[in-house]
């Protein structure tokens, strides 16, 4: 109970990762927030992440740059159209086109490097298995497998000085539960950003899968989404 424990928190500036950060903070961790600029179509994500990190008073916020466009393979980094206005029953059984190949693995690997440098044992990631059931790297068995690998990959694991833990506190929550949890912890969701395809002015479209999920979540949580929407 002596020293404050450090945690690396993956922060996209979206609703989920912002809530995961609030949970880590509520658990008493000193927060080292990590974001990625990887050839997203819009820089709004990073702007949201910066606002969230500042509001949460994190110890440090690191933005790592790399270029996923060279690798390709996703509607979020390539010029594939983002699907709009899909109803629930149209939700695809297969993996969505917005899936970015190995994205969480890349993010967690950088978080691992930073955790090792900081002598931190804890990494938080806001993945969710319910709403993103089509994403292989949002499933509990994936997170567990990454944790096992991480403990073999690092000095900490080998020398058994530290035991790395990947926390995915939202993994079994519905969007409404995530929002309720965040609101109880005082999260200001007006700072967050979820839209896959915002307008030039930075407004959320209100029609992509991510906006629809978010709006449904707020409705089910009985709360009002503080974000302005282009199609409201």
In the complex, which residues of this chain contact a copy of itself (CB under 8 A)?
Answer: 62, 64-68, 70-73, 94-95, 99-106, 108-110, 112-114, 116-117, 136-137, 139, 141-142, 145-146, 148-150, 152-155, 157-159
**Least Å from the CB of residue 88 to a copy of itself:** 22
Q: How many CB atoms lie within 10 A of CB 21?
A: 28
CB 14, CB 194: distance < 8 Å: yes
**Least Å from the CB of residue 205 to a copy of itself:** 26
**Least Å from the CB of residue 134 to a copy of itself:** 9
Nearer to a copy of itself, 8 or 204 (CB): 8
Nearer to a copy of itself, 5 or 148 (CB): 148
Alpha helices in 57-135 (DSSP H): 103-118
**Least Å from the CB of residue 105 to a copy of itself:** 4
CA angle, residues 144, 150, 155, in degrees to nearest 5:
150
Which residue in this structure is represented by tokens 């059984």? 93
Nearer to a copy of itself, 55 or 62 (CB): 62
Q: Give residues with Cβ within 8 angstroms of 17, minimum separation 6.
A: 9, 10, 11, 49, 125, 126
């Amino acid at each position: 109970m002596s020293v404050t424990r450090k945690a690396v928190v993956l922060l996209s500036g979206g609703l989920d990762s912002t809530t995961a950060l609030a949970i880590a903070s509520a658990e008493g961790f000193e927060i080292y927030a990590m974001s990625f600029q990887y050839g997203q179509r819009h820089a709004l994500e990073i702007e949201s992440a910066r606002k969230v990190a500042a509001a949460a008073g994190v110890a440090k916020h690191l933005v790592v740059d790399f270029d996923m466009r060279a690798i390709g393979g996703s509607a979020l980094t390539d010029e594939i159209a983002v699907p709009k206005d899909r109803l629930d029953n149209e939700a695809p059984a297969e993996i969505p086109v917005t899936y970015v190949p190995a994205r969480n693995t890349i993010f967690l690997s950088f978080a691992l490097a930073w955790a090792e440098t900081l002598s931190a044992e804890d990494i938080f990631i806001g993945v969710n298995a319910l709403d993103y059931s089509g994403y292989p790297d949002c499933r509990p068995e994936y997170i567990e497998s990454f944790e096992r690998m991480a403990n073999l990959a690092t000095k900490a694991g080998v020398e058994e000085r530290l035991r790395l833990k990947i926390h995915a506190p939202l993994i079994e929550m519905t969007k409404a539960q995530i929002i309720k949890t965040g609101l109880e912890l005082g999260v200001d969701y007006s700072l967050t950003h979820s839209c896959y395809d915002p307008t030039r002015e930075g407004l959320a479209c209100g029609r992509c899968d991510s906006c629809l999920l978010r709006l449904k979540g707020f409705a089910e949580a009985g709360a009002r989404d503080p974000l302005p929407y282009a199609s409201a």
